[in-house]
Structure formats: C-alpha cells, structure tokens
C-alpha cells in the first residue's frame, strides 16, 4: 500500500480543520445579519470600494428609501460628505489598512428636503472575506441640532419639549387617531419599516415601551392638542421650532 506524503497529509489535515471554522463563521454571520435587520440604528455593510451589500430598514428609512433600493449602490451616491478633511482621513486609513472608527459629516436629500447627519465607518475582520468589510452607521441630526435650538435647560427640559420633525408629527397624530402601521405607511408614502423606525426613535426619546404609551406621553407633554379630534400636533408650546398646528 502506497503511503501518502507527509506534506499532503498536513494539507489535508489543515483543510479539514478549516471547514468547521468556516461553518461557524457562516452561522455567526447569519446571526449578525438577523440582529442587524432588527436594529433601530441605521446601519449598512459596504466593501472598501463603498458598494453597499446590506442595509437594514432603519438605514433605508433614514434615506427615505425602501430597504431593497439601497443594496448594490455606492455609498457616495446616497450620501454627500460635507467635510473634506474627514473624508481624506478616511481615505488614507482605508489605503493603509488602519482599523478604527472614522466619522464623516454628510448630507442627503429626502423628497426634496436636505437632511444632515454623521456617517461612521469602521473596518471589521470577517474570516469569509479576503478584504475587510466596512460597517457604516448613520446618525441623523435631529431638528434641534440643525436649527440650533435652545439646549440650556438640561435633560428634563429637553424631554419636556422634544422637537418633532414634520414626518414624526404626521406619524404621531395618525397613530394617536388609531391608524395601523400599514395605514400610516400608505398615508404618508413610506414603507412599513420606515414607520416602525420613526416610532422606535420616538419611543426611545420619550422613554416609553410602546406606541400606546407613546401617545399617552405625547398628550402629557403637550405634543398633541388635548382638545382636538382627529388628533393634531400642538403649536409652539409643544414644539419650539414653530410647526403648523396640523403638524403636516
């Protein structure tokens, strides 16, 4: 019987050992993608060339898009960097292979309205990829930050008078009137995932566990006019930046 060369045996042993590791990596990647899909934080995964491979519903909603309309698009086609120094630092880091978090200020347009925020790019190690993918998170600047609203009153004062974007105002008054998520989505022209994203953000800001408590809290804080039906957003007393009384 012919004996197998030692080098061939070693190679076969290494190959056999690698298979369980690859299987484990695939399992954990699947779990990560499931968690990513459910995360309220706008997050996407791109290659080093900026091509988006995966984007969660929150990321798509922040851009005013359906989740399926983000994948296979270049990040720079979706977001426009507004700080060239930050962009140069990110480019230099990618070329040298440095691993850290790199924030870049950016803007984008949602249905004719310019939005601002900060993109954070972080290279990560993936045993199934030869080049490290990038995790991209998007922090949307809320209306208080964009308009330079008064922030001297401390946390309790900020909670008592939270700003509402026009989209949040529409969603809040529809939900307060008993509309389902699907009805809200059809009424304002965004996806169900987008509605859930905004509701999650509102619940987190007002420190409530669900939409029922959100509506009750909104009335207590004066965001919704207590005397009006159908529900409508209160005037300047409930929102400092002076929306229309209908919140639309």
Q: Are 52 and 46 in contact (CB under 8 A)?
A: yes
The residue assigned the tokens 């298979």 is 19
Four-point Cα dihedral 142, 146, 152, 154, nearest 10: 10
Q: What is the pLDDT along the chain (248 residues), one digit of tens a residue?
A: 555 555 555 555 555 555 555 555 555 566 766 777 778 888 998 888 889 988 988 898 889 888 788 989 999 899 998 888 888 888 888 777 777 888 888 888 887 788 888 898 888 765 555 667 889 999 887 544 444 444 333 333 333 334 677 788 889 989 999 999 988 888 877 778 788 888 988 998 889 999 999 999 999 888 888 888 888 887 654 443 333 333 33
**Strand order of the sheet with strand 43-46?**
52-55, 43-46, 134-140, 113-123, 102-110, 80-81
- Taking Cα atoms as reference points, which of 31, 30, 80, 40 lies closest to residue 60? 40
H helix or E strand, kind and range, residue 106: strand 102-110
Cα separation, 116 vs 129, in Å, equals 32
The CB density around residue 196, as the number of other CB atoms within 10 Å, is 19
């Amino acid at each position: 019987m012919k004996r197998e060369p030692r080098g061939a045996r070693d190679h076969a042993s290494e190959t056999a050992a690698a298979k369980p590791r690859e299987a484990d990596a695939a399992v954990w990647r699947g779990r990560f993608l499931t968690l990513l899909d459910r995360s309220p934080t706008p997050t996407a995964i791109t290659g080093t060339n900026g091509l988006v491979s995966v984007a969660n519903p929150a990321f798509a909603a922040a851009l005013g898009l359906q989740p399926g309309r983000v994948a296979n698009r270049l990040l720079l086609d979706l977001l426009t960097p507004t700080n060239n120094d930050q962009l140069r630092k990110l480019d230099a880091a990618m070329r040298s292979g440095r691993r850290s978090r790199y924030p870049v200020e950016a803007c984008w347009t949602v249905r004719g309205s310019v939005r601002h925020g900060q993109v954070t790019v972080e290279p990560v190690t993936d045993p199934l990829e030869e080049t490290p993918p990038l995790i991209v998170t998007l922090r949307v600047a809320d209306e208080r930050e964009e308009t330079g609203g008064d922030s001297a009153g401390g946390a309790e004062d900020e909670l008592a008078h939270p700003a509402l974007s026009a989209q949040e105002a529409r969603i809040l008054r529809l939900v307060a009137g008993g509309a389902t998520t699907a009805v809200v989505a059809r009424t304002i022209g965004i996806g169900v995932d987008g509605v859930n994203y905004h509701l999650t953000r509102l619940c987190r800001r007002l420190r409530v566990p669900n939409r029922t408590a959100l509506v009750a809290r909104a009335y207590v804080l004066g965001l919704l006019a207590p005397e009006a039906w159908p529900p409508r957003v209160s005037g300047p007393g409930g929102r400092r930046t002076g929306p229309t009384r209908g919140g639309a």
